[in-house]
Amino acid sequence: MSQTRHVPVMLQRCLDLLAPALEATGPRPPVVVDCTLGLGGHSEALLSAFPEARLIALDRDKEALRLSGERLAAYGDRATLVHAVYDELPEVLDRLGIPKVQGVLFDLGVSSMQLDEADRGFAYAQDAPLDMRMDQTTGIGAAEVLNTYPPGELVRILRAYGEEKQAKRIVSAVVREREKEPFSNSARLVELIRDSLPQAAKRTGGNPAKRTFQALRIEVNGELTVLERAIPAAVRSLAVGGRIAVLSYHSLEDRLVKQVLAAGAANTAPPGLPVVPERYQPRLKLLTRGAELPTEEEVAENRRAAPARLRGAERIREDER
């Protein structure tokens, strides 16, 4: 296993953002939720930095849960690992009898393990079966999406989830090729994308297959749909004084996180009220000015940190009943 996969992104900044909520002393130990366990780097650091805290960690990937279980075994019953998608957080907390938590962390996107395991089909740099499912026990893989979706739907996915300007060109080539032989491996798709793009489009923005692979991955895992439910649910699960930190890796995720946190930090009173009643007051206080970026040093040490965007907020008021 390569060492690069174990470098958690913006780790110290995430710990600093969550610290005031997790260092607070009360009758019960503070509870922190790592909604995206992955290989357990952030989780291990949370357990180590906050020795009083109890950790609940979620992942949809059973292999990630197995590997992290070994990594976190030394922390005993302070760590509870759950096979779940992060929008299932309310049900998980309900099952565990935890009404509110003090901290929530999301590290979105693909885990290092999924990128590094060639046979998962996430990485366009190596040939592999076109799967891309984060939970390989359920749902359809990327090959089935490519081989069965109508052309119009494929164009929509590439534009919406990959922000791919050449979506029509790529889809025309995919449709032509899939009639000859269905897609099964990533190398053929990468080659087709290279061949179908104009020269100018190939000169900018890294690997020309990057946007298409991102779009397929988001579609296969329903990532944005899940995130739309997950961030508001996480905010609702925070106790007053609790904090949330979210790491995003592309503009679609970051925009969604920004909207939810900004809405929570706004007062919702009708305009013109001389005094804003309690029920219209903000529920959140933003902890980051816009999105924070990794330092140049961190990017040099861990290239996967480069696109990261970090946003944080603190719960300052309960919802109105």
Specify binding-site residues for S-adenosyl-L-methionine: 40-42, 59, 86, 107, 114
Q: How far apart are CA 34 and CA 59, in angstroms?
A: 9
Residue 265's nearest CA partner among 244, 294, 292 is: 244
Q: What is the CA radius of gyration of the chain?
A: 21
Phi, psi at 286, each rounded to 5°: -70, 140
Helix ranges (H only) for the chain are 11-22, 41-49, 62-71, 89-96, 112-116, 142-148, 151-162, 167-180, 186-196, 199-202, 210-221, 223-237, 251-264, 296-301
Please give the distance of CA 6 from its chain centroid, rounded to a whole number. 17
Contact 254, 234 (CB under 8 A): no
Assess contact for 212 and 189: CB atoms under 8 A: yes
* Structure letter (DSSP) for residue 246: E
Report helix, strand or coil for 228.
helix
CB 207 within 8 Å of CB 179:
no
What are the backbone angles phi and psi of residue 99, rounded to the nearest 5°? Answer: -70, -45
C-alpha distance from residue 181 to each of 127, 140, 218 (Å): 17, 19, 24
Q: Check if the beta carbon of residue 47 is closer than 8 Å to that of residue 106.
A: no
Known binding positions: 40-42, 59, 86, 107, 114
